Structure 1
Amino acid sequence: MVRVHRSTACRVIRRVSLALSRRIARYVHLPNEEEAAAMKERFRQASGMPGIVGCIDGTHVQIQAPHENEYLYVNRKGYHSINVQIACDANYKIINLVARWPGSTHDSRILRESGLLQDFEEGRCNGLLLGDSGYPLKRWLMTPLIAPTTDQERSYNTIHSATRSVVERCIGVLKRRFHCLHGEMRMHPERVCTVIAACTVLHNICIAKRIPLPRHHQPPAVPEEDVRQATRPEDIAGRLVRAQLINQL
């Protein structure tokens, strides 16, 4: 046990978290051309689905009720949180993080206003992401079919769900490594976001150094989503790309 005053520990955590979060661009970034090619091959071997460079999902980190704009932080499950957007590759490396939105913000809005969308829309990253039905279908973002009618379409949904679960496992590993992300964080929302960024940097360092995953690193099974409830828009280019994937599978 380290016998230091609580205020001293808080100052140390704050300084270390700030130092790590300021280096996030070095450790959390989209893959370059060579890395993207390796990820596409890894996903293809695992699922048969070509062109995939990563998967995207949102997760909530619980916080105490803030004094300002408290209602904005209440998520759909009724508790206060930060809604965090995470994209990862097949090795559980986080390639994109957005940790600044209140819990009531929808995943699709976080994506719409993120740099990740601009990077893919403008072609700075060549490949496909997999997301659940809460995200809009794009030519670079594949979502499940809302109402599959053929065996091929049902097979696509099954493969899509199984492949996309890698981001759920990544989130599980991240929270297993850093237990502060499991419970309620009693800090100002801005400081919580800084801690989340710092934990993400440390997580990617662990991946790069091949530090063993925590025991019981497998998160609970991901329940299949009810894609029939999806109402996100689907653009024509996205439909064409998805149709090609379905035919290839």
Structure 2
Amino acid sequence: MATQEQLRLCRPRTFCDRKDVLNELNDAELIKRYRLDREGILFVTNLVRETLARPTARKKALTPEMKVIITLRFLATGEMQLCNSDDLGPSQQTVSRVITETLDALSSRPILAQFIKFPITPQETQRKKMEFVQIAGFPGVIGVIDGTHIRITAPKEFEAEYVNRKRYHSINTQIVFDAKYNIIDIVANWPGSVHDARILNESGLNRFVFGRGMLPDGCHLLGDRGYPSKKWLLTPYLRPRPGPQSNYNKCHKKTRSVMERGIGQLKRRFHVLHGEIRVSPPAKVCMVIEVCAMLHNICKDRNIGIPVGEDYSNGEEEDYSNGEEDDDQQPLEPPPQPAAARPREGLLYRDQFVNVHFNNDE
């Protein structure tokens, strides 16, 4: 009598028919389901084609295009099951493996660096400044910075470190946007309990870009009161006096509104970031976040808007930025440098900046 293993080997394999979505769906349908049009999907596929196209003699092997499409569907919805409900063909186990493989390829440093770039040259920084001036007249700004919590399932290791001040597990992600809502820097590798100020202090922005004077003079980021004031990081006054300080705070708030709208665009475009990311370990979640940021910039470059009419948020309340300006919301971990102990240099620089640029009668 044949053994079960022999029967399994002799049994012919069956394959489900797979949709040729690139040719069956128009660009509007592709954007609705996968957030990119046909040319955009092929563009992203070409970035990782050699990595994903492994030689095989098996029939019905997944093409690089199909692997990218499956991954885009997951990022757009946050639900692996919807990849199967689209009749794409692969089993749930295959979908999971393909998503991991594709995320690993897309999150490589050389590929991310092509699309998430911090402005360094005088020409780039001057263009960023001009774009921000058009919002509220705030001079010298090349980016706005804040953190946003990406909800995750409870990890098996160091579980308590991932509980944020709102008592759920998350990755605290630092993002910098330009005035056109492009992501020019992202740090997505810190547990939810870590304060925004510590993430900034340990980041390449603080240690290399600004810390080593890589930028022309007069380049600033705008942050909320969760950050320490620095010569290159301007924060609002806690209790502004009438006149220049009030004018400064008003323009600061209007200019920084780019941050909340930018994070809102990112999370509405990729709903995987809006709810709880059900993958593990946290390092894989970090790949998801970085790839979404890169794809967001690709969509901006290709003028692909955010589709409407789909909602995978499960009715959760939108919570985009970390909102450290709210006085009643205290982080689990105090900032590395409390306001009373911050170096006076940054605060004095802010006063000088305000007196020069906001000393008017508005």
Provide the rounded CA distance (Å) in 2 between the counterparts of 1:224 and 1:14.
34
Find the counterpart in structure 2 of residue 136 from structure 1: 228
Shift in Å, 1:167? 1.3
Aligned counterpart in structure 2 of residue 25 of structure 1, from 106, 113, 118 = 113
State TM-score, norm by structure 1.
Answer: 0.92
Amino acid across the alignment from 1:207: K
Provide the rounded CA distance (Å) in 1 between the counterparts of 2:151 and 2:105.
23
Amino acid across the alignment from 1:78: R
Provide the rounded CA distance (Å) in 2 between the counterparts of 1:49 and 1:61.
30
Provide the rounded CA distance (Å) in 2 between the counterparts of 1:124 and 1:86.
19
Mapping for residues 175-186 of structure 1, pairs under 5 Å: 175-186=267-278
Find the counterpart in structure 2 of residue 67 from structure 1: 156
Shift in Å, 1:106? 0.4
1:78-105 deviation line (CA, Å, top 9, x unaligned) = 0000000000100111111100000000
Provide the rounded CA distance (Å) in 2 between the counterparts of 1:236 and 1:72.
31
Shift in Å, 1:196? 0.6
Q: Which has the higher contact order (CA 8 A, sep 6+)?
A: 1
Identity rate of aligned residues, in percent?
48
Amino acid across the alignment from 2:354: I
User: How has the CA–CA distance of structure 1 residues 50 and 234 changed in structure 2, closer, same or farther, with 3 Å as cutoff?
Assistant: farther
Provide the rounded CA distance (Å) in 2 between the counterparts of 1:18 and 1:209.
23
More deviation, 5-14/234-243? 234-243
Gaps of 5+ in 2: 1-85, 310-317
Shift in Å, 1:10? 1.1
Find the counterpart in structure 2 of residue 193 from structure 1: 286
Find the counterpart in structure 2 of residue 107 from structure 1: 196
The CA RMSD measured in Å over matched residues stands at 2.2
- Partner-residue secondary structure (3-state), 1:121: coil
Gaps of 5+ in 1: none
Provide the rounded CA distance (Å) in 2 between the counterparts of 1:142 and 1:128.
7
Provide the rounded CA distance (Å) in 2 between the counterparts of 1:7 and 1:96.
33
Find the counterpart in structure 2 of residue 46 from structure 1: 135
User: How has the CA–CA distance of structure 1 residues 221 and 14 changed in structure 2, closer, same or farther, with 3 Å as cutoff?
Assistant: closer
Provide the rounded CA distance (Å) in 2 between the counterparts of 1:224 and 1:136.
12
Decide which structure has the larger Cα Rg and report it.
Answer: 2
Amino acid across the alignment from 2:119: P
1:44-88 deviation line (CA, Å, top 9, x unaligned) = 122111110000000011000011010000000000000000001
Provide the rounded CA distance (Å) in 2 between the counterparts of 1:35 and 1:210.
20
Shift in Å, 1:221? 10
Find the counterpart in structure 2 of residue 120 from structure 1: 210
Amino acid across the alignment from 1:181: L
State TM-score, norm by structure 2.
Answer: 0.64
Aligned counterpart in structure 2 of residue 203 of structure 1, from 269, 273, 296 = 296
Provide the rounded CA distance (Å) in 2 between the counterparts of 1:67 and 1:141.
36
Shift in Å, 1:207? 1.3
Provide the rounded CA distance (Å) in 2 between the counterparts of 1:21 and 1:81.
20
2:226, 2:324 within 8 Å by CA — same for their partners in 1? no
Shift in Å, 1:209? 1.4
Provide the rounded CA distance (Å) in 2 between the counterparts of 1:140 and 1:182.
31
Find the counterpart in structure 1 of residue 246 from structure 2: 154
More deviation, 81-90/158-167? 158-167
1:87-132 deviation line (CA, Å, top 9, x unaligned) = 0100111111100000000000000101011211211133100000
Provide the rounded CA distance (Å) in 1 between the counterparts of 2:156 and 2:327.
36
